[in-house]
Structure 1
């Protein structure tokens, strides 16, 4: 028994030494980051901005590979097959914690992923056309309660954070809205501007439309007022106990050595101070949001559980 214990200790020490040695030389070739969305969107823009800033910190090129599909889970599915050496990583949007509760998937967001760090968060905003009679969320909710199903709202699709936000508002208030899913924010914005629907729920893509007066914002689903939407009340401020966290982070395959994770999380933190990265945050109206690996791993487990409870408890039409 003592010999076996000693052998296990030696093996563990050897593995630790190997991981430290690997991290010392890491990276000695380009690193690939998967963006699980099509090119041109905010996630792609911010993923590329992070990649450029990380390349300065790591001293190697960072290659962005777009893999849209599977509700933002293509990156997680990809790294399940990747070697845990830090050369193939993925962005991890919040939707990966919700999707397993919606349909059968080929990944476990807690067991199959090594979370490195978050670098930004999205904020959802409930909007109406500028000539809408609704000037507050309360007015919208009161009308929807008196006229069930008459208020149509658009989102980029079923089970998106945008959809969850309105479903949660229904549950909290007893109001009844009618969901109209679209393929993306641009289609939804056009539908609101064209008066095809009465309400649009967007992420940060609506910022320029709100600034120009083409959309009126009623509330955000953030836990506190984001700088980009500083004049807009949150749902909590409006009297509804709802916030929808939606951070985006960086992750690798399970088994990624601690030393490499530490190196990468520190690089992400430093990259977030890069002037070009900061510029893209401002231009795209998204918030910087940093969690290190330990905090992000804890958040992932809690978020996965929370999303299951939300999906189970809501009627998502």
Structure 2
């Protein structure tokens, strides 16, 4: 009797144990079965937000579930990665993962590790950063502002969307390469910095793709772009390298989830990103801002994250950002 009872209990435990282990696999196979949240660590209405919304709409069609955008600006664009530290690794809470998250830990104390605390899904676009001036500015090239700064150190100021942003790093790199000193004027965002330049409050500014409409309207001119080559939307803008200054700031943007995201879910999300990039509606949203679409799969994006984290530390140390 005791043996039969023990066998029955053991069998029950085996069934419960098997069910317990099988449940996650079933959930993953059924993924997604409810809406997904995608955090955009920027304010609504900017380039990242607009393009992310277009991507989310297309990905939602691929996955059969809606993807809801949640804006969380602030903290050097690290609010998304901070959110991931407390999110369940079930694929229902994701974030955009900008290059800024690899820089922040080298500048100040943060409560996250951009490599260990995230599961990288895929990258889908790359920002371009441009040095711009007002249409009536006497500066016609990078050399002009460099020469002016050599004559009067600090006399050329530049606006950016914030301290330690990629925009700020770009000009800090130029200072080091050219042996000059500029004056940094940080603003709360691209829009505020652009308006300050148009109004004549600053002499120059460094902006992302949000500058394109202002160039098209004739209010601003771009002196240089910090890319390896000239992207189609900025075909008439010479690179810094073309003008003799080795300043390049690669800035891919992608999607990541919490650490421990199951491989099956990563593969589904990766495939959805890749398919979305062929969607004409998404392509048009990106084209409106001259955004370059650049796909990296989960493996390549994870490798990039490790490399970028190390390189950002070297850059921060070399230019002495404080």
TM-score, with structure 2 as normaliser: 0.91
Please name the residue that 1:44 is paired with. 49
- Aligned-residue CA RMSD (Å): 1.8
Please name the residue that 1:268 is paired with. 273
CA distance in 2, matches of 1:15, 1:243: 51
Unaligned residue ranges in structure 2 (runs of 5+): 1-18
CA contact (8 A) 1:101 1:307 kept: yes
C-alpha displacement of 1:17 = 8.0
Instruction: Provide the secondary structure at the position in 1 that maps to 2:70.
Output: strand
Structure 1 residue 247 and structure 2 residue 255: aligned? no
CA distance in 2, matches of 1:168, 1:42: 24
C-alpha displacement of 1:15 = 11
Instruction: Provide the secondary structure at the position in 2 that maps to 1:65.
Output: strand
CA distance in 1, matches of 2:20, 2:147: 61
Please name the residue that 1:7 is paired with. none
Query: Taking structure 1 as reference, are residues 110 and 297 closer, same or farther at Cα in structure 2, changes over 3 Å only?
Result: same
Please name the residue that 1:232 is paired with. 237
Deviations 1:105-142 (A, max 9, x none): 11000000000001111100001112212111112212
C-alpha displacement of 1:195 = 1.6
Please name the residue that 1:4 is paired with. none
Please name the residue that 1:222 is paired with. 227
Matches within 5 A, 1:42-191: 42-191=47-196
CA distance in 1, matches of 2:315, 2:260: 30
TM-score, with structure 1 as normaliser: 0.92
Structure 1 residue 311 and structure 2 residue 316: aligned? yes
CA contact (8 A) 1:153 1:180 kept: yes
Instruction: Provide the secondary structure at the position in 2 that maps to 1:153.
Output: strand
Q: Which moved more, 1:285-294 or 1:137-146?
A: 137-146
Please name the residue that 1:5 is paired with. none
Deviations 1:202-232 (A, max 9, x none): 0011101112221111000112111111110
CA distance in 1, matches of 2:192, 2:142: 23
- Number of equivalences: 304
Instruction: Provide the secondary structure at the position in 1 that maps to 2:68.
Output: strand
CA distance in 2, matches of 1:210, 1:306: 32
Please name the residue that 1:286 is paired with. 291
Structure 1 runs (4+) deviating above 6 angstroms are 14-19
Deviations 1:1-51 (A, max 9, x none): xxxxxxxxxxxxx99987764432111111111111121111111111111
Unaligned residue ranges in structure 1 (runs of 5+): 1-13
CA distance in 2, matches of 1:15, 1:245: 45
Matches within 5 A, 1:208-219: 208-219=213-224
